[in-house]
Structure 1
Amino acid sequence: MGPPRPRSGAPRGGGRRGCGVRTLRTAASRRGVPRAGARRARGREPAATRGGPRRLRGGRERPGGVAGPDAASEPDPGPRADRRVRPRARDAARPSHRGGAVSRELPFVKMHGAGNDFVVLDGIRHELPPLEPLARWLADRHRGIGFDQLLVVRPSRTADYRMEIYNADGSRAEMCANGIRAFFKYLRDHGHTAADAIRIETLAGVVVPRAVGPDRVQVEMGRPVLAPAKIPTRLGEGDGPVLDVPLDVAGRRLLVSAISMGNPHCVVYVDDVDAAPLETLGPLLERHEAFPNRVNVELVEVVSRRRVRQRTWERGTGETLACGSGACAVAAVSMLRGVSERTLTVELRGGELEIGWAAPEAPIYMTGPAAEVFRGAIALPDPGGA
């Protein structure tokens, strides 16, 4: 099946009609805030008259018999309730832009962790189409839903659950620390588990998130990988660490450090992170020959021994408001370079994360927020109609 296309005619914000996304529930509605145009209560047809004629508005009767005694008093659901409850026949047969009929709607949940935003699909409860083309389409912030990463819930044989991660370009990612927090909150809020701590399998290994407060999650991230061959990078040999290695990029000499938190990171310290040309250096470093699997790029400004500021260019996505594994990488490199304490606040454009690394042989712990933004469903085309 090729990439699904938006269904014309599905409602969109601002009264315009475009992408086939239907919002089911928002954070406001979950708090009990009334929504405009909320569904009106529908009366149930009396048992004695089911299947028989009904009185229509204006006093007319449907052909085929006489209306039952209660037909005139039956509540009229109105056109708005009809639209929300019954799918319209013309929508069911409307073709996609590739010529296939819309076959079903796929539920999703939009979430974020410190501004790093995700779409979560439940592969345990729903049958999912091929995910690489789907990820590229859904990631489009104009024609899809928009996200930094797509997170997919799967069963696991080695942990409680497995999290699959897709970047906006459809490529797979080994780890996403902000995504782990959002994923854990999804599992708890949507009835998969009530446990305060669980084990989640990723391509980088098993990590353990734990609830530590309302919408706050701490994640045991494991120990950082310092050996160049395992990061991987061509900037060093042996056991590492790879710290402040000169690297020429587009006529500039940079001092870069490399580390892995289950996924590769390149850390560069700058005087002013806001003025640093991340949009230029990010893609050049991401695909530099020194990093055979590409790399995530962090530009870092040291504020004090307990606080740094960070911007991230994520491999396969671009600049994001936050990167949890990147914050762990920055904290580890800062501690190895001796410019920070063993607990560090990492200030990102989307929020703050608390990182702790008690000792070289200990795991890194990351603590930060997780939030659900809204729930919805998106129309998928019929694979047989393309």
Structure 2
Amino acid sequence: MRGVSVPVHAYAQSASSILSSPSSEEGVRLIHEMKKETRAFNRVVLRLRAQAEADAEQSAAIRRKRSIGSQAQRQNHGPPLSWSAGAAQGQGSKHRSASRQSSRAPSPTSSVWSQAQGSQAHLPLGTTSGGFRSPLFRLRRAPLLRVFVPSPEGDWLSDAGVLECETELRKAGILPLLRVGDVIWDTALGDEGNVGRLVWDGRYLIDLDYTFSQIGDIPSSLPALAFPPSYFHRVIRVAGDRNPIAHFDIRFWGEEIIANLQLLQDRVRTETPQGAYHTVVRWVHRSSFTIFPPPGGTPMIILPNKERRAVDPGWRGTVVVEAEGTNEGLADLHARCRGVFQRRAGDVAPPPGERERMVWRVLRERSRPGEIWIRAVSFKERLTP
């Protein structure tokens, strides 16, 4: 299949050959061939996305019908026998084990009996009952599209190079199919870190944000709540074992965060400059808020192209918020929650200076479905002034 069978390293090798002799007949033929490969690849990926979403929608409709049928059966015959009082007494150890597990926050991927009351049963996010699998696209993940634009300036694309990348998307015929958050990779620049990766904001290709990372993070203009929590996982890479940067506006839940705020001791594992690891006890300010499904009063998210989008279902549940256990950390958290009486805070685009108060790290090692942990990123972590 055109574009799919070409190994990734072949693009960078071809770009190096083209830049060494740009005016040769072989170079012209090679650049034309590589561009045709990437255009074909993009059409395949977007076709797979459409197929995966259609399969997921069909599976959701089937689950809704089954859920309605099971609810009608429960109304006529009551709960299953295993949930009755007699069965619970006969299985004391299993009942106690289940009660211990129920102390955790409910997962959005739980069973029909725990989540289907008045709603539909859920399958794990990112999969479908039909078993859609593809190495080129995964449901609820950003697609990694390709362009081939050799850059004489090195690993950094010039403005003209970015415009040429947009032209390649237009020539491939996929520009109307792009969505906010789609990632485009200039394969001619190689596969080191996030080199050559750009993000579509609904109107233009924009560069990554290098304020807190040397290899780049999600641009600050893309609010994290508008996308699934793992939307950019392994598409936009992170340095080492660091947690990814995300941008949140938490003012809408400010009252709940302030009401649940606590000062706690926490144990963290830190690495020394010599490479050794130590467990350190530190103080943290910790709170939480809950994101309810619509119509629960959650705000609408405004994207760079003025599109209004609801909070993604992957964020529904509890969000645990952490900040430094110092007076400065407490003041910063209060500043992030200010304007709590403005009930439609999520509908208002933040001023440019306010974006610094919306930078967080998603703590992957502590997060799970239904409970996402985030930590406030302070000004001291900036790499650029």
Instruction: Tell me which interval the TM-score lies in, with the shorter structure as reference length.
Output: under 0.3
What is the TM-score when the length of structure 2 is the normalising length? 0.27
Greater Cα radius of gyration, structure 1 or 2: 1
Where relative contact order (Cα < 8 A, 6+ residues apart) is larger, the structure is 1
**Higher strand proportion:** 1
